[in-house]
Structure 1
Amino acid sequence: MSRILIVEDDVVLARALKNWLERERLQVTCAITAANARRIIANEEVDMILSDLRLPDGDGIELLEWMKKNKCRIPLIIMTQHAEVSSAIRAMKAGAEDYLPKPIHPETLYPKLNDVLLRTRKTKRKQTDILQRVSPPIREVERRARLVAVTDMSVLIRGENGSGKELVADLIHRTSARDDKPFVPVDCGAIPKELSAAEFFGYVKGAFTGAVTDKTGVFHAADGGTLFLDEVGNLPYEVQTNLLRVLQERRYRPIGGRREYACDVRIVAATNENIERAIAEGHFREDLYHRLNEFTIELPPLRECADDILPLAEFFLTQFCEKNHRRITGFTPSAVKRLKNYRWPGNVRELRNTVRSAALLSMTGTIDETDLDLPSTRGMESYALKVEQEERTRIVKALKAAKYNKALAAELLRISRPTLYEKMKKYGINTEK
């Protein structure tokens, strides 16, 4: 979800802009003064700024100059009165992306906003990639993602929490023919059961108490693009039924509406749940599972991708230092050893948070082992051995069930053949007679 900062001292206009943008599923923060805007830009993630030209403590051009000085590369659109068009042109020369003349209407705001956000997304996608990772298992993930991207098949990404499933979904989207359309992520576990249908399909004014205006859902927001259903295993059963119907008929109806809308959306879903167990226990529809699982990508945990740990840590360090104006030159040898030896149960997300925290704590210009503030590994090795023993047992069982056909065994395990070969080598599994 894109994050928009509105810098406007006219509270009525700011509220109207906020309402319009939130209807389009954008996250909005408002600031009344330039000083407040600078604080938000310095401390929060912002994808785009809508700023009035004249502010109580300065103007939009001064805000642009401050951003340029502090290397804040965030696109900014200036809002201005018709009589101040010359000032708006000056703002564009200072680095503004565009300008919006007042009075502002949704039909002029949305196209301009979408154009800037699309260009911003494409720029970010060139800069941020799972290509920061170099391990063979991740290269295989990338290969499979690029193969399926050119199709319209539904994809199910399976992996532990924090392993980077949304990055893989984004890679599939931006290497597909839908790249110029929206990529809309939805956290299925965060939607209250009673609001799920409204979240997905929207509603019309008067559909229920509190429905004072029409509201579009995520299927409308993702039209022509990709809808990413994160933690799809957490969807309520009733919503699963509605979702299945939409995927089968490619049409949906907002709550309380009479009209059906065509639906052109590519589905990429992700889960860390054992979906097969959920099906057996009656919590997940098997027919929906097969609709979502036309192609599977298994994302390995970070502990199985040791070659990625240090490159990722250095990437997160550089990213944090640039944003927060810190000068940290790298990691000490003891810190590098600690990073490599830790098991990372929280995966890439835990690594990112650990590096950010360490960069803030460091008082010497380099990150030492003590700055990492990682829990003791005492007692963790036995747990790791238990996990590995369980994995070895599953691989042996799959090989026996497949009569030692490695391609079939890999399918049963839902991993690629190269990954199976690596794990067989790791655990000393020999199938030669």
Structure 2
Amino acid sequence: MKSMLLCLAVTATVLGATAPAVHAATVGPSLVINQDFPDPDVLQVGSTFYAYSTSSGAGRTPVASAPSATGPWTIRGDALPTPPSWAGGGGFWAPDVSRRSDGTYLMYFTGPSAAVGRMCVGAAVSTNPLGPFTPVGDAPLVCDGGEGGDIDPSSFVDTDGKRYLLYKNDGNAIGQAPALWLQPVAADGVTFTGSRTALLRADRADEANVIEAPVLVHRPSQYVLFYSAGNYGGSGYYTSYAVSPSITGSYSKAYRPLITTDSVDGAVVGPGGEDVVGDRIFFHGWLNGGRDARGMYVADLGWANDYPVVRGSRVRYEAERGTLNDCRVRTGAAGASQGAVAAYIDNDDSWVDITVFAPTAGNYTAHVAYAAGYGDAQHQLTVNGSAQQVVDYPDHGWDNWTQVGVGVDLNAGWNTLRFQHLTRWAELDFVEIA
């Protein structure tokens, strides 16, 4: 027999969600370069945005520019028209461009080493973000064939001015486990000043032994390491993150990925190769349901207690972790998430408060997971103490968990959704905001 426990005003902390907007901003992931532009890296210089990508028909290292993050974007040519002397034949991957303290621009890139026979990390410099970039030195910066070569470089400058290089050792190329590495460099970005530290490894089934595209952000309370995982060639590729109180770790991976094909309801297929600039996240996805070209997308990025949330990507809030008043928590509920626990709202005085986060103000969809078994039920939904509406729950049986979508207007930041008994009986499992 399923157990029922009476609960009175039990409060728990819930981590945030995503958001749309009433101003002229991106409502969800928006396709801004509708042609092959994989592994995008984005740099803002003044009011102009520059983007760089993996090799395509547009060049060895295509560069685009735009007056804003959402465009319009224009492909401007090849930022690295002359390859380094150490490179063999083949494409160049995942460039990263940053501005150095002397005002010049530093490009990290992944290129094919003729001597080692693997992809390796190189560097190039320019006085203009459009290039042309001139390769530095006659050898790669990082190139260890024994670990499969090295790819996906990115730069990071901490709040104390110290500069670091992040990259992946490409163990996948030789059937070994890959890792993400951090190594300190001098202000020039090409002189190593210390040994490297492993930050993260592939250790989850859905990662398919792939972890790559590291991007590091420092928030007031922690470091946030974005990364991509899964098979890049399909819908299983995704973007996630890990957090640490110190730059060298240890890093704890998020319970759920940040952006997946499913979390954006199929609006982007295989979202990955991400970069973060201010309050935006850029990433690629397969175009037109095919596997021939990956376009560049952008979405609003917000921070809930220094954890990232992406507008348009569903974030889940468990009902039983909210504030419950004169309600019941049912354990052993078939199909319920987070250990099979659901909040059962069964009388006029019972309600559940669920706190959700929106990066920007606007209208969102709250996807409410529920069960109802004694006829169609209703709740009264209040958002931040106002804007009441009725939520209808068609009866599909107690053990058949179903979702219903409800439009809600949210303020930027934290918001409280109150679900209160209205007619008959329903259980809430979770709410996803998108």
**Structure with greater strand percent:** 2
The verdict on a shared fold, with TM-score over 0.5 as the criterion, is no
The TM-score range, normalised by the shorter chain, is under 0.3
> How does the TM-score come out when normalised to structure 1?
0.23
Higher relative contact order (CA 8 A, sep 6+): 2
> How does the TM-score come out when normalised to structure 2?
0.23
**Structure with greater helix percent:** 1
